Chain A
Amino acid sequence: MLRLKSLIPLTIKRRISNGNPIEGFELTCGLEIHTQLNTTNKLFSRSVNNPFESISSPNVNTSYFDIALPGTQPILNYEAVLFALKLALSLNSTVNLSSQFDRKHYFYGDQPQGYQITQHYHPFSKGGYLRLSKEFDEIKELSKEIRITQLQIEQDTARSLYHQSSQQNSGEETLIDLNRSNVPLIELVTEPDFHDILQVKAFIKKYQNLVRQLKISTGDLEAGSIRIDVNVSVNEHPRVELKNLPNTSSIINAIKYEYERQVNVLKNNEQDSSTVVETRGWDGSKTTVLRSKESTMDYRYMADPELPPIALSSDVLSEVAKTLSKDADDCIRELMSNPYNLSKKDARIMTIQNDFNELYNNEELRVYYIDTFNAYKGSTEDNEISDPKIVVSWILHELLGNLKKLQIPLNQLSQNILSPKKLASFLNIVHGGVISNSNAKQLLFHILEEYKLGSCKEPKDIDFMILIKKYDLEVTKNIDYNTLEADCREIIETLNNPKMIESIKSGKKKNSIKYLVGLGMRKYQGKIQAQELETMFKKILNVK
């Protein structure tokens, strides 16, 4: 007989509450966010900081300090300070010019020193906010400010792997991987300013975008480079801290569940004097008690006796502030207004980094777009653009697609072969009708392919007009409309599809005319503007 053994029931069907607010019961949330900084080295040692890449070879990135050998001392990595500074300034937080490190004591297998070095009494920065808006963040309110309580720099713990020991009766065994130990973290605490789940969702997304834009963290929740605890309280219900929330959906579902649970407690008057601040975990379907206040640890915080304060000058702050890129919302707004007038979707693509893309980042893309736009605008006769969409659609839809297909990095392309100025001149040719759109697309791809075949190394000065002539792609200038009409009529006849022609005429399937245009383009090898063909077919078929 075959047996399927599983510790976890295979099917858990449980109604996840919808979390809709119930009249008279207000949700209040605050977040505690731990963000792993992607510095080269660890926070207090020279060990390599790459806990994810080294996941299959545990305990390789460990120095004497990381494993807390007797006689070792911490030396602060100032790259982590720089990263913290970028984040604090971006969140309008007031940087402490002399923040200090403290030790937080508790015993655990993942903590080699027996304490974590953190910033308890004099944190890195205090105050600040992140602004959410209906326009950009899909919240209900027009605008909502989430206040930041403080930011602190601290050490990450080691990674624990729990498994049942192979030896009998020896209980559980935990394996420890110290590659993550002493990786720099920033702990960000918000004020309890969230009153709607959409706000929580929006904040998390926006915060992820921010750390990616600042290039201080990979910003991934799933992989654990961002870890979020949530404090939830409905009305007068004592605060509950939710932990073990591995991704956005578990954060949202846990808050929804906890909201309904607390509402029920309040409705049924189940709350007695023993109901106190507690920590609950999320098991995928419900929140369960991890520990209550009575068993709360006294961390015995102590100012670290050997680490000097992080002394910063206001000059350093203003220098770092200069290096920061513009606020993402401002960027989007700028791209959506004159002279660019982009759609919100296109503006976002050029502002927000959703993932680490090796070929280009949002900032490079935005710069490339704006430079091309300005070059294009400058090259037109009256400094005006009659067709503002042409730049964005060529870059986002044609160029990026080609780059991905051919694996060419944008920066390299821009430097070696297709500078914004060059692209602008090409768009000018296309706009001037020298070459048809479809032939222009093929020509661009061909140029990039050639470049790729030459191992992307040779910078080239491309003369589009020469290439158009070489490949004989120029649109015929003097169209003989009689010949054109004859050709079009021949196409319709050869097609011999009265049903289709009828549906075009009757207006049932207006777009089928594009099919005819396609056939015409093929006949003319793209050397005619599609518009000329469409006009002729319409004239023949007598449609508007």
Chain B
Amino acid sequence: MSLKSIITKIPTVQKEFNIFTSYIENSTECPADSSPASGKIGAIKDNIATKDFPTTCASDILKTYSSPFDATVVSLLKGSGAVIIGKTNLDEFGMGSLGLHTTFGPVRNPLNKDWCVGGSSSGSAAAVSCGIADFALGTDTGGSVRLPSAYSAIYGFKPSYGRISRWGVIAFAQSLDTVGIFANNIDTISGIFRILDQHDPRDPTSLSVETRESIKDQSVKFKDRSKLKIGIPKEFVQSDLAPEIKESFMLYIETLLEKDYEIYPISLPSIKDSLSVYYTLAPAEAASNLSRYDGIRYGKRNSTKPDIVNANFFTESRSYFGQEVKNRIILGNYNLCSDGYKNNFIKAQQLRVQMINQFDKIFRFKNILTNNKPDHDIDILLCPTNLSPPPPINSITHAPKSNPLHEYMNDIFTIPMSLAGLPAISVPFSKGKPYGIQITTQYGNDEALLKFVKETVL
């Protein structure tokens, strides 16, 4: 499809699914080369800084913000010849699992307009799912790429933490934040990953060149074994898993068995702590990161009232945050209070380390960051991506008082991999169905993971 015809189509798609926060509005803005290579039409989640479009985080507070610089991922994509057609809607600052907490209104699921598409990278998932973009970038902090990709029946890949630069990625909880890729085929995912998988001296958490070298060595060793060993964590066997998702999952396992893969039950007891650990650490980091939005230097500012009222700073301007963001800021600050820090935050950090140690024991390869010695032999972990199909938008927005915990439960399968920084991909094994299979491997073995997916999923 030519770029011009895509750009003509955007307004219609936008009206239907509310995918974009801004997009190329007329074809004259298109680059001279108006037919980019296949797989190179992309959309970018609107919490990633771009010079060519506003960068809003779908928040009222940044609605008019324009970044003076491109995120490293955006520069890399542009440099590779990709064309970015727009910025995509999201849960405000990446906080949400359904794509509903946004100042631009909910994103609709291309599989069924009445359904949620999932969040927080909701617009990016929908852009690929409806076919307007070949790929899209999202960010994944606890499942924000994997869950919406499952809900919209596409691929959603969260690489190992540190492989893709975060420079220009607006922090939600940067010990977890990872740029992820959406596409409707594994080759496009691999192609975009190769472009973005670079060390960036501007990002202090970017994986060093030396560590990248040792990862390469490990990737080579992965091939020693013709048939990888697969583990299924028993903690992920949930009684309330939707029957159709269970069926799809079992079907995938059958195809693996047919291909002579060996499958083992394994145990990761720490998984039971993951939601509590995540909702202690992530909101605390978020409360800290969002402290900069005071309206003084950029962003929306209440011009009728002073910045300081009764020794309270920036209350008026900061009230432009949406309700879910406010909830998490309050929770985060509670976790950071001097009393709460030792009891909650430090404990959560310890439990996180414990979980990483458990993961490290299971795999065949050692974790190059922790240097923990493995004592099992597993290459690949499997579990579903989502517990249930996407809920109807109305059921949430019209519910009298919805318990936020219900929304948080959506991330139960994805959060452990975020806490451990592991590469994980959600795969649409049952074509066109709103559920996915999550495939994970040891830290740094992203290429091996993508190769495994290519070999086992049609």
Contact = CB atoms under 8 A, between A and B. Distances in A.
Do A and B come from the same complex?
yes
A75 B338 contact: no
12 contacts: A68-B292, A70-B49, A71-B67, A75-B204, A107-B313, A109-B307, A114-B291, A114-B293, A298-B338, A300-B288, A301-B338, A305-B173
Contact of A71 (B168, B201, B297, B313): B168
Interface in A285-337: 298-303, 305-308
B341 A302 contact: yes
B204 A306 contact: yes
A418 B318 CA distance: 67
A105 B291 CA distance: 8
A70 B65 contact: yes
B204 A307 contact: yes
A300 B290 CA distance: 14
Contact of A176 (B288, B296, B336): B296
A51 to B, nearest CB: 18
Contact of A76 (B170, B204, B296): B204
B336 A68 contact: no
A105 B336 contact: yes
Contacts of A303: 349
A107 B318 CA distance: 11
B205 interface: yes
B337 A300 contact: yes
B362 interface: no
Nearest to B296: A109
B264 interface: no
Interface of B: 48-49, 55, 57, 62, 65, 67-69, 71, 166-171, 173-175, 201-205, 284-285, 287-288, 290-294, 296-298, 306-307, 313-314, 333, 336-338, 341, 345, 349
User: 10 shortest A-B CB distances, which residue pairs?
Assistant: A114-B291, A107-B313, A300-B336, A305-B175, A71-B168, A68-B292, A71-B49, A70-B170, A71-B170, A306-B174
A432 interface: no
Contacts of B65: 70
Nearest to A44: B204
A409 interface: no
A28 B275 CA distance: 50
Interface in A51-74: 64, 67-74
A68 B170 CA distance: 11
Contacts of A227: none
A74 B204 contact: yes
A103 interface: yes
A171 interface: yes
Contact of A64 (B68, B306, B314): B68
A78 interface: no
A376 interface: no
Contact of B314 (A67, A69, A76, A107): A107
A75 B67 contact: no
Contact of A113 (B175, B291, B336): B291
Nearest to A107: B313
A108 interface: yes
Nearest to A301: B341
A307 B205 CA distance: 7
Given A71-B171, A73-B202, A107-B313, 14 more contacts: A64-B68, A69-B68, A70-B65, A71-B166, A72-B167, A109-B296, A113-B291, A114-B292, A114-B294, A115-B291, A299-B338, A301-B336, A302-B345, A305-B173
Given A70-B55, A71-B67, A73-B166, A107 B294 contact: yes
A108 B204 contact: no
B297 A300 contact: no
B138 to A, nearest CB: 15
B294 A302 contact: no
A72 B307 CA distance: 24
A303 B297 CA distance: 26
Contacts of B205: 73, 306, 308
A75 B62 contact: no
Interface of B is mostly: loop
B292 A112 contact: yes
A105 B49 contact: no
B360 to A, nearest CB: 20
Please indicate which of the listed interface residues B173, B287, B292 has the most CB atoms of chain A within 10 Å of its own CB.
B292
Contacts of B174: 73, 305-306
A30 to B, nearest CB: 22
A75 B68 contact: no
Contacts of A72: 167-168
Contacts of B345: 302
B132 to A, nearest CB: 25
A523 B291 CA distance: 83
A103 B341 CA distance: 13
Contacts, number: 105
Nearest to B349: A303
Contacts of B341: 300-302
A299 B339 CA distance: 11
Contact of B204 (A73, A171, A302): A73
Contact of A112 (B49, B297, B333): B297
Contacts of B291: 105, 107, 113-115
A105 B288 contact: yes
A73 B167 contact: yes
Nearest to B165: A73
Nearest to A300: B336
A212 B306 CA distance: 43
Contacts of B287: 300
B71 A75 contact: no
Interface in A130-171: 170-171
Contact of B285 (A114, A298, A305): A305
Please indicate which of the listed interface residues B170, B204, B290 has the most CB atoms of chain A within 10 Å of its own CB.
B204
B21 to A, nearest CB: 14
Contacts of A105: 288, 291, 336
Contacts of B336: 105, 300-302
A71 B296 contact: no
Please indicate which of the listed interface residues A105, A112, A301, A302 has the most CB atoms of chain B within 10 Å of its own CB.
A302
Contacts of A109: 294, 296, 307
B298 A69 contact: yes
Contact of A70 (B62, B204, B294, B306): B62
Nearest to B72: A71
B288 A302 contact: yes
Contacts of A69: 67-69, 297-298
Given A69-B67, A69-B68, A73-B202, A103 B306 contact: no
Given A69-B68, A73-B203, A114-B292, A302 B285 contact: yes
A70 B57 contact: yes
A109 B285 CA distance: 21
Contacts of A108: 313
A306 B202 contact: no
A80 to B, nearest CB: 15
A300 B284 CA distance: 10
B203 A171 contact: no
B292 A71 contact: no
Nearest to B57: A70
Contacts of A71: 48-49, 55, 67, 69, 71, 166-171
Contacts of B284: 302
A377 B300 CA distance: 76
A300 B333 contact: yes
A69 B71 CA distance: 12
A115 B289 CA distance: 9
A303 B341 CA distance: 10
Nearest to A305: B175
Contacts of B314: 107
Given A70-B67, A107-B314, A75 B202 contact: yes
A68 B298 CA distance: 10
A179 B337 CA distance: 31
A113 B292 contact: yes
B337 to A, nearest CB: 6
B288 A103 contact: yes
Contacts of B296: 109, 112, 176
Contacts of B166: 71, 73
